[in-house]
């Protein structure tokens, strides 16, 4: 089995529980799973899929098509944000299957925490779809939804009704570790932190976004609550407060000298090509002057 791509298949009656994890790229092993999944219903757990590229999307669509040709109905559960992004981008990504549950990403601007919340597609109701409320475990404030609702929940508009939900929920309960009867993780396991699972972040966001790091600027996000004060990045110096002691004259002189040194260091000397251009221009001007002199003295 590939280290990048992991898979397990379990059976309960005519229901197969297929758990996929890692990266779906050109080195995937989806083709090997066709013979392991008989006709019936295939519950495909995608919660641990970290990333999927264009080659992986092609193989994934072909794999679902082969399963459907064999008489297998697919039900997608715990779709990671990377999978949700592809569902919204590729029209036939789910084939004739149904999305039962998926993860919704959140961000806390106060604590710099990211989380994903498992949501049942049937609980989202009719459009327009709004993300459920999710609170931060650190500060207990309402977290911001870390995407655009119109684009992230777009696939729900064409969502099909789940057939035989009791059979699917029973298989998920028996074969999915630590899940409740409705297929959702129980207790604290319902919320996953990206800090504890750093590879769960989406490989392709639904819309372009500006990422945040410890030394860069804050990324943009849509706030679902009152606007919070900008979060200062680690290692940055707090601003001077009114009435605080101004920097001393030696400090100002030292900073000025340093700025002058940095400015002079960034000025690059003229290159040899520029000097050659100046020489050629000078020769051309001199030739024109000599030619004009000869013409006027005749």
| 239 is a domain residue | no
| 144 is a domain residue | yes
Domain hosting 120: range is 5-200
| 89 is a domain residue | yes
Task: Give the span between the Cα atoms of 248 and 251, in whole angstroms.
Answer: 5
- Please give the pLDDT value at position 251: 44
Alpha carbon 190 to chain centroid, angstroms: 20
> How many domains in the chain?
1
- Please give the pLDDT value at position 223: 38
**Residue-by-residue pLDDT tens, the chain, 298 positions:** 557 999 999 998 889 999 999 999 999 989 999 999 999 999 999 999 999 999 999 999 999 999 999 999 999 999 999 999 999 999 899 999 999 999 999 999 999 999 999 999 999 988 899 999 999 999 999 999 999 999 999 999 988 888 888 888 888 887 775 443 334 443 333 566 654 444 444 333 443 333 334 333 334 334 344 444 333 333 333 444 344 444 444 444 444 445 544 444 444 444 566 778 888 888 888 888 888 888 888 6
- Please give the pLDDT value at position 271: 53
- Please give the pLDDT value at position 2: 59
235 sits in the region (left: phi over 0; alpha: psi -120 to 50; else beta) called left
Task: Give the span between the Cα atoms of 128 and 295, in whole angstroms.
Answer: 84
- Please give the pLDDT value at position 152: 96
| 55 is a domain residue | yes
| 277 is a domain residue | no
b/e map 1-40, b = 16+ CB within 10 Å? eeeebebeeeebeebbbbbbbbbbbeebebeebeeebeeb
- Please give the pLDDT value at position 8: 94
- Please give the pLDDT value at position 196: 44
Task: Give the span between the Cα atoms of 89 and 85, in whole angstroms.
Answer: 6
| 212 is a domain residue | no
- Please give the pLDDT value at position 175: 79
Could you tell me the CATH number of the domain that includes residue 56? Answer: 3.30.750.24
Tokens describing residue 145: 């939804």
CB 22 within 8 A of CB 49: yes
Task: Give the span between the Cα atoms of 115 and 104, in whole angstroms.
Answer: 8
- Please give the pLDDT value at position 254: 47
- Please give the pLDDT value at position 209: 34
| 272 is a domain residue | no
CB 193 within 8 A of CB 113: yes
């Amino acid at each position: 089995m590939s280290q990048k791509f992991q898979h397990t298949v379990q059976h309960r009656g005519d229901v197969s529980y297929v758990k996929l994890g890692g990266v779906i790229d050109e080195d995937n092993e989806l083709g090997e799973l066709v013979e392991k999944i008989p006709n019936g219903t295939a519950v495909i757990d995608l919660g641990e899929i970290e990333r999927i590229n264009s080659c992986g999307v092609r193989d994934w669509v072909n794999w679902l098509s082969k399963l459907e040709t064999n008489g297998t109905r697919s039900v997608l559960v715990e779709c990671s944000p990377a999978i949700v992004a592809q569902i919204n981008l590729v029209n036939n990504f789910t084939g004739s299957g149904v999305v039962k549950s998926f993860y919704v990403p959140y961000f806390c601007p106060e604590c710099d925490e990211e989380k994903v919340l498992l949501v049942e597609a049937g609980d989202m109701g009719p459009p327009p779809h709004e993300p459920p409320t999710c609170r931060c475990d650190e500060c207990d404030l309402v977290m911001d939804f870390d995407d655009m609702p119109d684009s992230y929940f777009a696939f729900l508009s064409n969502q099909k009704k789940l057939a035989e939900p009791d059979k699917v929920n029973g298989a998920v309960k028996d074969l999915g570790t630590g899940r409740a009867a409705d297929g959702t993780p129980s207790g604290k396991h319902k919320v996953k932190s990206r800090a504890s699972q750093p590879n769960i972040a989406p490989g392709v966001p639904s819309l372009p976004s500006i990422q945040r790091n410890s030394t860069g600027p804050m990324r943009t996000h849509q706030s679902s609550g009152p606007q919070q004060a900008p979060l200062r990045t680690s290692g940055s110096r707090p601003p001077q407060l009114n009435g605080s002691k101004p920097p001393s004259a030696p400090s100002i002189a030292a900073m000025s000298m340093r700025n002058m040194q940095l400015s002079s260091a960034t000025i690059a000397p003229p290159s040899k090509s520029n000097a050659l251009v100046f020489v050629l221009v000078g020769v051309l001007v001199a030739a024109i002057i000599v030619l004009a002199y000869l013409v006027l003295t005749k």
